[in-house]
């Protein structure tokens, strides 16, 4: 993506082209530490009553909670990292949602491709990059947030949906975000299940079953749920009746310090999801030697 593309008004983007290795989104969206915030992102999405109704009525979340996660992450990553194929991946993601519609628990109609629902889901993926850096990485300044936001508008345009719901700037996005937190999001059956469940989950893959899963489950289930409690906006934590203590906060800071140190010594692109890692490697091989720094 070129600088000229970002100069277009947010609600009238230029003809969408894929994001590239010069974007901040390439640098931050594929960060593997995002797995620790995946529960937080899911809760933010599923506190929207229309989105929660779609998940409840059109997925097997309770029977197989890993299925939606493992099915959703790769194509969303693809819209960012697939280069010349990104627009096709975006249309594929859009087609997945075509038949997800019905009525929510209060009898209100919803459709997954409605501008409100689809953009809210996208907004949580954008905001997750800022939250990840705030909690577990290096916090972004306002200029970086604005640049990352304008890239998210460009990314959203690839889906080919109406852009009227999209705020024009990061400042406007922050106002939109706060309105959603205060006025639209509410406890749902999914949030009650997620934070009320005390039992374990089956391993997502058969090869993980047994001793390996006994070791991984505390982190991938209990740990992610705990991080979600601590990193949710306080207004939502209070609305959901979640407890978070000073001791929890200290432990979260220790975890963040460990991860920051670990990410400094990880070689190359090993701190990225596989799809992002492959894209970064392809871009590096294709770039002149003096430009071979991922996400710069």
Q: Is the pLDDT of residue 105 over 90?
A: no
Q: Confidence band (pLDDT; 50, 70, 90) for 216?
A: confident
Q: Residue 49 and residue 53: Cα distance in Å, rounded?
A: 6
What residues does 110 pair with on adjacent strands? 102
| 70-78 average pLDDT score | 88
Check residue 265 and give its pLDDT. 93
0.85 exceeded by pTM: yes
Check residue 15 and give its pLDDT. 56
CB 148 within 8 Å of CB 28? yes
Q: Is the pLDDT of residue 207 over 80?
A: no
Neighbours of 15 (CB within 10 A): 7
Strands 101-103 and 109-111: antiparallel
What residues does 109 pair with on adjacent strands? 103
Q: pLDDT over 70 for what percent of the chain?
A: 91
CB 248 within 8 Å of CB 256? no
Q: Confidence band (pLDDT; 50, 70, 90) for 6?
A: very low
């Amino acid at each position: 993506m070129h600088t000229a593309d970002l100069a277009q008004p947010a609600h009238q983007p230029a003809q969408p082209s894929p994001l590239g290795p010069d974007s901040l989104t390439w640098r931050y969206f594929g960060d593997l530490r995002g797995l620790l915030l995946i529960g937080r992102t899911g809760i933010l999405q599923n506190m929207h009553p229309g989105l929660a109704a779609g998940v409840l009525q059109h997925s097997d979340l309770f029977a197989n909670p890993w299925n939606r996660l493992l099915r959703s992450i790769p194509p969303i990553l693809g819209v960012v990292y697939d280069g010349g194929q990104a627009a096709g991946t975006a249309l594929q993601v859009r087609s997945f949602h075509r038949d997800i519609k019905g009525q929510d628990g209060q009898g209100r109609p919803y459709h997954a491709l409605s501008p409100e629902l689809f953009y809210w889901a996208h907004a949580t993926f954008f905001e997750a990059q800022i939250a990840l850096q705030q909690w577990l990485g290096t916090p972004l300044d306002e200029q970086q947030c604005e640049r990352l936001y304008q890239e998210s508008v460009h990314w959203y345009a690839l889906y080919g949906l109406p852009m009227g719901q999209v705020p024009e700037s990061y400042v406007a996005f922050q106002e939109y975000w706060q309105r959603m937190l205060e006025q639209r999001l509410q406890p749902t059956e999914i949030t009650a299940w997620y934070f009320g469940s005390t039992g374990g989950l089956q391993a997502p893959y058969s090869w993980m079953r047994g001793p390996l899963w006994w070791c991984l489950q505390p982190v991938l289930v209990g740990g992610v749920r705990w991080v979600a409690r601590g990193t949710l906006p306080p207004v939502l934590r209070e609305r959901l009746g979640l407890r978070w203590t000073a001791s929890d906060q200290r432990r979260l800071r220790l975890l963040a310090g460990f991860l920051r140190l670990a990410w400094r010594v990880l070689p190359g692109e090993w701190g990225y999801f596989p799809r992002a890692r492959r894209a970064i490697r392809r871009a590096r091989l294709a770039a002149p030697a003096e430009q071979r720094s991922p996400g710069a």
